[in-house]
Amino acid sequence: MPTVRDLQAMAGEEPITMLTAYDAVTASIVDDTGVDIILVGDSMGNAVLGHDDTLPVTLDEMASRVGAVARGADDALVVADMPFLSFGADESESIQNCGRMLKEEGANAVKLESGPHTVELTERLTELGIPTMAHLGLTPQSVNQTGYTRQATDREEAEEIIDLAREHEAAGAFALVLEHIPANLAAQITETVDIPTIGIGAGGDCDGQVLVFTDVVGLSERSPPFAEQFGDVRGEVADAVDEYINAVESGEFPAESHSHTEDELEDLY
């Protein structure tokens, strides 16, 4: 399993791969492929829990999914995405919530949707031995303020993100997710900071890339414009279910090979 230092050493040398997972089975599949980081994202709200956004995801839901993923992954670094209002309001409570993901659920690090309010928290978490990944640009937990549009498209906002990237690096963040910002801004941030940058909709000059699992395998009904579908799992699943229904309705399933009989149970009535 790579440590955060191993990942930092990869910056500029070897592309870092990160995917989301929300259960042990998916985590095992993703882990076996050799992905570097598995993010248990609050994107589970949209991807698997049926919500319109990430805001309803609870701390207990996240903890349950983090534990499942940690049990399914042997080699990848498991990062717990801290859900809305589980951090930032009270430092002590924030630390306890983040610590729970490592102490009780088996995560190796946490991720915070970041801003000026998370700089001191990142520093304190790092001091306590909780590796922290920062997240700048489009932060879905701020959807009611920003929507899902591309961020930092003007000079002032871009400079703010660069400053925040530097501040979180200085606070001890071991890596930085950059979401849905101009590619040339992401390239400048990658050049400016020494910690790895991991992009999602931020161009190819970041040190690594992350996408949502359901988008990658083609399980989502809709995907963001910066995602790529590398398979058609949704179609494969639908075909398999159709075949099952047809087999049951036609009497082909279950066959004799799927059942057994006991001679001594004959003529009970």
Distance (Å, whole) CA 190 – CA 196: 7
How would you classify residue 70: left for phi > 0, otherwise alpha for psi between -120 and 50, otherwise beta? Answer: alpha
Do the annotations mark residue 32 as ligand-binding? no
The pairing of strands 109-113 and 132-137 is parallel
Q: Pick the catalytic residue: 160, 179, 228, 256? A: 179
What token pair was written down for 158? 């871009």
Distance (Å, whole) CA 111 – CA 128: 15
Distance (Å, whole) CA 24 – CA 26: 6
Do the annotations mark residue 163 as ligand-binding? no
Do the annotations mark residue 94 as ligand-binding? no
CA 144, chain centre distance (Å): 21
Do the annotations mark residue 86 as ligand-binding? no
Q: By CB neighbour count within 10 A (0-12 exposed, 13-18 middle, 19+ buried), where does 51 fall?
A: middle
Beta strands in 100-252 (DSSP E): 109-113, 132-137, 175-179, 197-200, 208-211
Do the annotations mark residue 263 as ligand-binding? no
Distance (Å, whole) CA 77 – CA 32: 13
Helix (H) or strand (E) segment spanning residue 20: strand 16-20
Is residue 179 annotated as a catalytic residue, yes or no?
yes
Annotated binding site for 3-methyl-2-oxobutanoate: 42-43, 81, 111
Catalytic site positions = 179
